[in-house]
Structure 1
Amino acid sequence: MEKALVIGASGGIGAAVVAQLDRLGGMVTRLSRSADGFDLTDDHAVATRLKGLDGPFDLVFVATGALEIDGNRPEKSLRAISARAMLDQFALNAVGPALVLREASRLLPRDRRAVFAVLSARVGSIEDNRLGGWVSYRAAKAALNQIVRTGAIELARSHKQAICVALHPGTVATAFTERYLGRHPAVPPDQAASNLLRVIDGLTPEQTGGFFDWAGKEIPW
């Protein structure tokens, strides 16, 4: 990727993606809350900040998200649902990326291949849900998947070579997941970043609007 924008660039996966792109010699623009005060849930801030960037970008990678917000952990059952916690999940995991996607027509070139990729999660798959629980996080990621799918349809009308996808990175050993790893195998962030960039490199415009895992396999909605 000659020119990339990574949002959530200070997080575990985001920072690893930036490092990989740097090693490949790309020009990387970084944005994050901790380093830049970039608030993904602030409508005006997103529009203003992204409007001022020097694009277009061959890759826009949204690596934001959270399992816990303000100390609220994923619910173990329906009885644990809280309106505030659910709204916070939607704000960060669905609305925030949607605000960035709203600007995609300006961020992506019209005359060549470009990729808009958002980190989703397999637990956002409705069809693949066998265990229940994690209601708010699952629902927010399912909403994100629909946002990506819808955005891909609209982008294809004006950006014929654009690819807009949701990606599942697998279980990655970061601060984001450390409380929930248990016995699940996890990969380090640099390996996750390498996997995701490999998938991105192999995508074609015919795959826009899809939901793919770290190995490039399509995930059911």
Structure 2
Amino acid sequence: MTYAILDCYTDEPAGLGVPPYLGTYPRYIYGYLKKQFPNEKIYYFTIDDLRLWKKWGMKDPNENLPKSKTTNITVYNLTKHHQKIAEILSDETTEIIVILGVHVPGKYLSAMPGTLKEVTPLIADLPCKKVLTGPAIFGTQLFGGQFTERIDKTVFETRAYNFNFAEIASLSLEGTEIVEQIPWMKMLEIETGKGCNVGKCSFCTEPLKSKVLYRN
């Protein structure tokens, strides 16, 4: 089997996953797959890779860009294997794990998170199993003040990877290998706790997702 992680980026009150940040979701899931299936291939792609293939026909609008022009941030964060994305996703991949979800929309300077409305039609025709995970399984919306996006369950199976801190201790180390597929400068958060015992911030989903837990 061949696994592909498609990072559409995540933005939560307690977790930054929009480049230049690399969120915990892809790192933990990569570590989990590597540990469970040590002999299988695991690829990491971004929504930028997918857009370049499906929307731009692999013609990078940022290549040889004049200084007078603005960088297209929707295809700015390309991975090591982006040139082979069509071949890998169409011919090799047996399961694609889509990480997606924005709970605190913001202004992004070097990337644009993917939405369910955008990514669903882009991958619907791929001949592999499609798993949706991340904040999106609880609800996602790129713009504030709007209803959450609906998940097309004819396309996706939803899966919550709820790793405890004992598991994370090893998975986070196994998952460090993912950075070898990412050529740009990265900022990686270290998760030290979950939940919140204050629960007074109107924008925060952390108290709803987990009871208060801290790493040893």
Question: Shorter-chain TM-score category?
Answer: 0.3 to 0.5
Larger Rg computed on CA atoms:
2
TM-score calculated relative to the size of structure 2: 0.45
Higher strand share: 2
Q: Does 1 or 2 have the higher relative contact order (CA < 8 Å, sep 6+)?
A: 2
Higher helix share: 1
TM-score calculated relative to the size of structure 1: 0.44
